Amino acid sequence: MRMQLGRQLLDRQIVDRDGRLVGKVDDVEFGVDADGVLYVAALLTGQGALGQRIGGRIGRLLVAVADRFTEERAVTPLRIPYRLVERVDSAVRLRACLDDLPSSPVEQWLRRHLIGRIPGADRAGG
């Protein structure tokens, strides 16, 4: 299947099989098959991916902000293998459940240091 990445993939919302928001496509990772043909290997989401895609001062600022909200430095984007994509329409729809995907380092930090400290947050439905 051929697609124009800029129009049909980048900046689309990513939703899991239950319709829950995962993020948005901030960048893509390419692979090369045995015949030397490029293909989309993974979708990348998160401030680190977006910052690298934008580049320049604003891109570096996005990456720096993401780095501040993690214990580890050099925040890596959330990488979703393209084989998990069910279809692409108004959103990128996955055949996987959100709970089966790794969470981003920024999300982990926010849950641990901010959301987890809100009274009753452990009982909130998701």
What per-residue confidence (pLDDT) applies to 117?
60
Segments of 46-102 assigned E as strands? 78-81, 85-88, 92-94
Check residue 75 and give its pLDDT.
60
Residue 108 is predicted with a pLDDT of 56
What's residue 64's pLDDT? Answer: 64
pTM over 0.85: no
Successive 10-residue mean pLDDT values, the chain, 126 residues: 66 90 86 91 78 66 63 70 93 90 63 59 51
Where residue 34 falls (left for φ over 0; alpha for ψ -120 to 50; beta otherwise) is: alpha
- Whole-number Å distance between alpha carbons of 40 and 33: 10
State residue 111's pLDDT score.
Answer: 56
Which class is domain 5-123? mainly beta
What pLDDT shows up at residue 26? 84
> What local confidence, expressed as pLDDT, does residue 74 receive?
57
